Amino acid sequence: MQRFRSHSEHTLDPKGRLNIPTRFRDVLREQYNSEMLIVTHWDKNLRAYPVAEWEALEEKLLAQEEGQPDFDELVRYIIAGVNECQVDKQGRILLPPTLRSEMGIDKDVAVVGMLRHFEIWDKKLWDEEASKTRQNFGNYRAGLAKLGIM
């Protein structure tokens, strides 16, 4: 099974188009038989989902909305940011200006694979986040050990 793995750095063109890494386009085409991504704002970045993965996430959100107080606020935030982005013939998607502005994404970005989806970060913010995680790596040892990875 193919997954979205690794990261790469890109520069948005003046219209806000992002060149999707070839290996990610291959996953989208071969694993999901699609050229469409669902992009939405998240915590500190944008998330890009193949349609099938997005639909599975929506089902999880629907199942949870009864169980958590004020959960509809989070669902509203996530769903309000949804944009369907078609991959063009040059392998690019147009990131809407509202989403770019909200996440502080101007020109330089990091595209980070997260197995079933990928994230789009402002490069400076990604560098800070990656550095923080690297410095705190020891905090994750117990969780990794639980999974049998350490």
Tens of pLDDT, residue by residue over 5-21, are 999 999 999 999 999 99
Residue 142 lies in a domain: no
pLDDT of residue 66: 67
pLDDT of residue 55: 96
Domains in the chain, number: 1
Residue 150 lies in a domain: no
Looking up residue 73, the CATH number of its domain turns out to be 3.40.1550.20
**Mean pLDDT, to the nearest integer, of 29-47?**
96
Question: Which of 112, 41, 48 is closest to 86 using CA atoms?
Answer: 48
Residue position matching structure tokens 């550095």: 131
Q: What is the dihedral of CA 144, 118, 34, 99, to 10 degrees?
A: 150
Residue 21 lies in a domain: yes
62-97 confidence digits (pLDDT tens): 887 666 777 888 888 999 999 999 999 999 999 999
Residue 128 lies in a domain: no
114-138 confidence digits (pLDDT tens): 999 999 999 999 999 999 999 999 8
Residue 62 structural domain: 7-123
Predicted TM-score of the model (pTM) = 0.93
pLDDT of residue 110: 98
pLDDT of residue 73: 86
Return d(Cα 123, Cα 98) in angstroms, integer.
18
Residue 137 lies in a domain: no
Beta bridge partners of 18: 93
